[in-house]
């Protein structure tokens, strides 16, 4: 089956044509792209024909907990979830609309970032909020980056040559958006993102977790509107707010030159990262494998090293191979109790699996 994979992220739009697991055609649109028109798609595909389309969709709510074939009813349900993922859901829907117009006769499947976390236990996804809120508005922790966490945990098990069902894996998806996931026996049991993709780690332009009382104070006493607060938390916080740049590469270089602001941004990022990994390990009752993936996870050995140093009490220790690691690599120190790996992000392969499960079951 030849599948067109449409992966609309918060900072990029990736198009892939997969012939089985073989990458046939690939194209990345620049950061900030909101979609593409029919001419863009025709130029990308050329003479390539596809049998199916797989879309990454960030939020599936409580209804969509597995890959689902797209139709008008499904699209309308996804549009109703825009407020829960305002950076991502509109881009996914724009891709669905454009590709659907250009390839109207090709079956399309939505694969959800929230679906992998549907297996979390009730204690992990429940907020300590009034029952009527939780029942009326489905207020709960959903988790995100599920496609990456699912693939990352499975690939990590392959790299350490152990069955995934026997492993406790903490996956660190570190990109423009960032989250952690505790994976036990191939199932998500905890994660750092929650009701929206704002919760959890420090990200490129998103704040991560902040005291909800602070948000209320800013509205009640500083006179900020709901829009002001939301816009700042989504677009003007995180690394950008701390260090003046959302690009980790730039911040690392500036910190090496003695820039105090960049150094603080990295210190805060690593502090939250290490604390989050320890929390995921607690949810698992220990950890066997630590996996780094995503743009920062794969390409910033200094971040991996600094986080790993703080996690030595868990048995994490990386070796000299960390500095030159790229792609799928085991960077564990010899004899380390916890294996540490770098995993090249391949959400496209996870989406392919989802498409095949819907259109070619069994």
Tell me the catalytic residues: 113
Cα 339 from Cα 325, distance rounded (Å): 15
- Please name the residue that has the structure tokens 């109790």: 337
Per DSSP, the residues of 142-192 read ----HHHHHHHHHHHHHHHTS-GGG-EEEEEEESSSEEEEEEETTEEEEES
**φ/ψ of residue 122, rounded to 5:** -55, -35
* DSSP class of 30: P
Are 139 and 195 in contact by the 8 Å Cβ rule? The answer is yes
Task: From 211, 76, 270, 57, select the one nearest 144 (Cα to Cα).
Answer: 57
Place of tokens 């055609």: 25
d(CA 282, CA 311): 13
Residue 177: partners with Cβ closer than 8 Å, 6 or more residues away:
9, 10, 144, 145, 197, 203, 204, 206
CB 281 within 8 A of CB 275: no
Nearest-angstrom CA–CA distance, 40 and 260: 43
The H helix count followed by the E strand count for the chain is 14, 12
């Amino acid at each position: 089956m030849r599948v067109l994979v449409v992966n609309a992220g918060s900072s990029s739009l990736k198009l892939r044509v997969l012939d089985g697991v073989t990458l046939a055609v690939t194209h990345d649109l620049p950061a900030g792209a909101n979609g593409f028109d029919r001419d863009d798609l025709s130029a990308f595909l050329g003479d390539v024909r596809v049998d199916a389309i797989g879309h990454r969709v960030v939020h599936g709510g409580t209804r969509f907990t597995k890959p689902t074939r797209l139709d008008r009813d499904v699209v309308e349900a996804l549009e109703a979830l825009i407020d829960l993922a305002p950076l991502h859901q509109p881009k996914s829907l724009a891709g669905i609309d454009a590709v659907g117009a250009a390839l109207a006769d090709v079956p399309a499947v939505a694969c959800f970032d929230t679906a992998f976390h549907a297996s979390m236990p009730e204690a992990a996804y429940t907020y300590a909020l009034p029952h009527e809120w939780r029942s009326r508005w489905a207020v709960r922790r959903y988790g995100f980056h599920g496609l990456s966490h699912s693939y990352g945990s499975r690939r990590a098990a392959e790299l350490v040559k152990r069955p995934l069902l026997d492993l406790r894996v903490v996956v660190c998806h570190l990109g423009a958006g960032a989250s952690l996931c505790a994976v036990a026996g191939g199932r998500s049991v905890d994660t750092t993102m929650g009701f929206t993709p704002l919760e959890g780690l420090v990200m490129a332009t998103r704040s991560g977790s902040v005291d909800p009382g602070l948000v209320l104070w800013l509205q009640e006493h500083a006179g900020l509107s709901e829009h002001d607060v939301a816009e700042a938390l989504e677009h003007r916080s995180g690394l950008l707010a701390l260090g003046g740049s959302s690009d980790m590469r730039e911040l690392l270089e500036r910190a090496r030159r003695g820039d105090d602001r960049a150094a603080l941004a990295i210190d805060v990022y690593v502090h939250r990262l290490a604390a989050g990994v320890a929390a995921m390990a607690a949810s698992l009752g220990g950890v066997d494998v630590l996996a780094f993936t995503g743009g920062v996870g794969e390409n910033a050995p200094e971040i991996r090293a600094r986080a790993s140093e703080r996690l030595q009490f868990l048995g994490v220790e990386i070796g000299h191979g960390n500095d030159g690691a790229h792609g799928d690599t085991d960077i564990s120190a010899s004899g380390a109790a916890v294996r540490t790996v770098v995993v090249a992000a391949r959400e496209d392969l996870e989406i392919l699996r989802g498409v095949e499960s819907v259109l070619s079951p069994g």
